[in-house]
Amino acid sequence: MAFCSFSKDCDGNSYVTVENKFITKYLPEADGFAVKVYLYGLYLCENADSDFGLKSMAEVLKTTETKIAEAFEFWEDYDLVQVVSKAPFAVQYLPVRSAVGRPKRVRYEQYADFNKELQRKMQKVGKFVSSGDYLKYMRFLEENAIQPQALLLVAEYCINKKGDAVSPSYIFNKAKKLLAGGASTYEQVERELSNYNEHESELVAVLAALGGYQRAPDETDYALYRKWTETLGFTKDGVIAAAKKSKRGSMTALEITLEDLYEKGKTDASEVETYLAERETLANLTFRIARKLGVKVSNPATYIDEYVEKWFTYGFEDGSLLDIALFCLKTERGSFDSMNAIVNRLFANGIVTKESVKAFLKEKNDELKLFEKIRDICGTIRKNATNVSLIRTWRDWNFSDEMILEAAKRSATSSNPVPYMNKILSDWKQAEIFQVKNIPDAAPSASNTAGAARGYVSPAIEAANAKADRERYYALLREKAQSRADKYVRKANGNVRFKELTAELSTMEISLAKAEVFDPKKLPALLEKKTSLLGERRELLAEMGIAEEDLLPKFTCKKCSDTGFLKNGVACDCYKK
């Protein structure tokens, strides 16, 4: 698209034609630069090639691309042109006769003093106000209910802040924010700006305290600072103290911290410093507890509020809490919720001091050690809170560790050792047998569970456990046979062609079943293909050193397939053998 072009409604020719309506209606209301841009654009509509752009026009007219773009936007307000593209910048001229935009008549004479004072202020920083900029300021005054002297005050404030980098848009944005806050007169703007100047040094100190936040305060910063000091009641030193403790170094993070402090009633510097120091201590403790529990914590605030601060208030010392956390991990209770249950129980029982907690944990760790001895005897027993707590129960029944371990030996071959130990110890308790020498038939083999039980376990319990042992025996045999078969299947499936053949044979069975019912003529061909696939499958297995029967479980007992029962429901004699 060309930089400037006529719309389809314009009649182009070899001359630059300016409609009379533009000269009589629009030209008197525009400054000379805007008119120059408009006329040169008309010329370009017929005389420029596609390579001529905004930069080229700026070079010809000895100005900047920004000023030219602003001039076209000025004419766009009056429907004389249309900016059809920003990148690359492209303008389409519209016929003046159909323009509906009405220029606003600006009475330049009433802003003469304003313009002079604005020019004087700008020249202090080496800036010059162009006629186009004058028009912007005057249009801003016409369109916004702000006094000229008030706008000059805003301009002076912005000049002091930005120096030679100040721009009309920066001044207008600042003025609009003041207007939004209800400041439009000289007195109102002066009061607002004085608040900015008054708090500027304080805000600079706050930003410096945040660390790595080197910039000048902006309007948002002022609004936040006024909220903190005027609405929430923080002292200047209180805000700075909170800023120094802010880890994320931003005004947003500081806002969150101060709102939390306000809820806790901490607003002056000493209160803020004390509270945040305590929170930092609690945060470090929270991370240490989390590591002991095996829990990952990214933001400690939630855990502090819900758990750690309460534990600290209960009077527990850091070392005690860390020891409790380690105990929780050992007993598979590695979470803050589980630890909270233990801490609450200790507090309810008055176990808070370092010495009392240490004594409690020593007792519990002794129970854990005994549990490990039981697990060494009985094999796989899950170390959870329920199983470990049984040791405390057995000890409350007045059984010594020697008696508890004796019960473990007699339960070692049971499929459920812990329930079996409970039954044995319960029977002994009822019979008031609390020493090994008093156990009837006290020296049976640990592998002979039925014999071990005789004399101190009721017949019903003995029968139930004998059944459980039998089921466990056969389950282990079946698992062993199945595991062996699964190993060969995995090895065979490592061959891609073998997996394909297995899938094809599976589909083949469905095809054979359908053909047998609906289309018997296909059966011979399908059976021949199946035979071929089976032959190829056997060859592949032979190459891998695998027999067909290796893919199926090889049960120890051929009669009952390691189930313990024959097909007629009679118990198999293989268990006795």
* Per-residue confidence band for 287, with pLDDT thresholds at 50, 70 and 90: very high
Q: Is 265 left (phi over 0), alpha (psi -120 to 50) or beta?
A: left
- For the chain, what is the mean pLDDT? 81
Token duo for residue 491 = 């090895």
Give the single-character DSSP code of 293.
H
Distances (CA, A) of 416 to 268, 277, 381, 446, 471: 64, 53, 9, 15, 11
pLDDT at 446 over 50: no
Q: What burial class does residue 424 get, using C-beta atoms within 10 Å of its C-beta: 0-12 exposed, 13-18 middle, 19+ buried? A: buried
Q: For residue 486, which amino acid is it?
A: D
Rounded CA-CA distance 574/554 in Å is 15
DSSP H or E stretch at residue 354: helix 354-378
Identify whether the C-beta of residue 248 lies closer than 8 Å to the C-beta of residue 215: no
- Of 432, 390, 384, residue with least CA distance to 408: 390
Are 358 and 319 spatial neighbours (Cβ–Cβ below 8 Å)? no
Rounded to 10°, the helix 219-226/251-263 angle is: 10
- Compare 405 and 569 and report the one with higher pLDDT: 405
Q: Tell which wins on pLDDT, 162 or 531.
A: 531
Say what the pLDDT of residue 14 is: 62
Structural tokens at position 375: 């697990």
Average pLDDT on 480-500 reads: 87
Question: Given CA atoms 376, 379, 383, 388 in this order, what sign does their dihedral have?
Answer: negative
Question: Taking 80 as the threshold, does the pLDDT of residue 323 lie above it?
Answer: yes
DSSP string, 51-89: T--HHHHHHHHTS-HHHHHHHHHHHHTTTSEEEEEETTE
Distance CA(557)–CA(481), nearest Å, equals: 11
Instruction: Give the span between the Cα atoms of 58 and 64, in whole angstroms.
Output: 5
Give residue 20's pLDDT. 86
CB 80 within 8 A of CB 22: yes
Which range among 2-11, 105-114, 238-247 has the greatest average pLDDT?
238-247
Which residues, in sequence order, are bridge partners of residue 92? 5, 82
Q: What is the pLDDT of residue 248?
A: 60
The residues, ordered by sequence, that sit 6+ positions from 354 with a Cβ below 8 Å of its Cβ are: 317, 319, 320
Residue type, 269: A
Strand 89-93 and strand 81-86: the pairing is antiparallel
Mean pLDDT of 380-392: 79
The token pair that represents 480 in the structure block: 């062993």
Can you tell me the distance from the alpha carbon of 444 to that of 220, in angstroms, rounded to the nearest whole number?
Answer: 85
Buried b / exposed e over 233-243, threshold 16 CB at 10 Å, is ebbbebbbbbb
Return the number of other C-beta atoms located less than 10 Å from residue 496's C-beta: 8
54 vs 47: CA distance, rounded Å: 15
User: What would the mean pLDDT of 201-214 be, rounded to a whole number?
Assistant: 71
Checking phi first, is residue 547 left (phi over 0); if not, alpha (psi -120 to 50) or beta?
beta
| Residue-level pLDDT at 9 | 58
- The phi and psi torsions of 6 (rounded to 5 degrees) equal -80, 145
Q: How far is CA 445 from CA 371, 381, 418, 454, in A?
A: 22, 21, 19, 12
Looking at 65-79, 86-100, 490-504, 535-549, which range is the least confident one?
86-100
248-257, 269-278, 517-526: segment of lowest average pLDDT: 248-257
Q: Which pLDDT score, from 0 to 100, does residue 571 have?
A: 82
Distance (Å) of CA 438 to CA 59, 138, 325, 426, 428: 114, 112, 41, 15, 10
Query: In the chain, what is the greatest distance between 2 CA atoms, to the nearest angstrom?
Result: 129
- pLDDT at position 321: 92
Sign of CA dihedral 146, 147, 148, 154: negative
Instruction: Retrieve residue 7's tokens.
Output: 């719309």
Q: What is the mean pLDDT of residues 179-191?
A: 86
Closest CA to 119 of 170, 155, 71: 155
- CA–chain centroid gap for 254, Å, is 21
- Does 442 have pLDDT greater than 50? no
**Poorest-confidence range of 357-366, 368-377, 458-467, 519-528?**
458-467
Laid out side by side, the sheet with 89-93 consists of 4-6, 89-93, 81-86
Tell whether the model's pLDDT for residue 102 goes beyond 60: no
pLDDT of residue 308: 92
Which range of 106-110, 139-143, 411-415 scores highest in mean pLDDT? It is: 139-143
pLDDT at 462 over 70: no
- pLDDT value for 106: 53
Cα–Cα distance, 216 to 178 (Å, whole number): 19
CA 531-537-541 angle, 5° bins: 145
Share of the chain above pLDDT 90, in %: 7
Residue 474: pLDDT band with limits 50, 70, 90: confident
Q: Is residue 126 scored above 80 in pLDDT?
A: yes
The domain segmentation of the chain, as residue ranges, is 4-98, 108-184, 365-457
Listed range (277-286, 471-480, 518-527) with the worst mean pLDDT: 471-480
Q: Give yes or no for residue 214 having a pLDDT over 70.
A: no
Bridge partners, residue 83, by sequence? 91
Distance CA 73, CA 62 (A): 19
Higher pLDDT, 538 or 97: 538
Q: 338-365: per-residue pLDDT in tens?
A: 899 989 989 998 999 999 999 888 888 8
Task: State phi, psi for 527 to the nearest 5 degrees.
Answer: -65, -35
Q: Is 28 exposed, middle or buried (0-12, 13-18, 19+ CB in 10 A)?
A: exposed
Residue 163 confidence (pLDDT) above 70: yes
pLDDT band at 455 (very low <50, low <70, confident <90, very high): very low
| Residue 421: per-residue pLDDT | 87
How far apart are the C-alpha atoms of 91 and 89, rounded to whole Å? 7
Is the pLDDT at 296 greater than 50, yes or no? yes
The amino acid that residue 1 corresponds to is M
pLDDT confidence tier of residue 452, bands split at 50, 70 and 90: very low
Residue 6 · residue 91 · CB < 8 Å: no
* Residue 72: partners with Cβ closer than 8 Å, 6 or more residues away: 37, 41, 81, 83, 91
Residue 114: CA atoms inside 13 Å, Cβ hemisphere, count?
Answer: 25
C-alpha–C-alpha distance, residues 194 and 190, integer Å: 6
The predicted structure's pLDDT at residue 108: 60
Has this prediction a pTM greater than 0.75? no
Mean pLDDT of 369-383: 83
- Return the sign of the alpha-carbon dihedral for residues 212, 217, 221, 226: positive
Residues facing residue 85 across a β-bridge: 90
- 212-221, 377-386, 392-401, 528-537: range with lowest mean pLDDT: 212-221
Range in 302-316, 414-428, 464-478, 527-541 the model is least confident about: 464-478
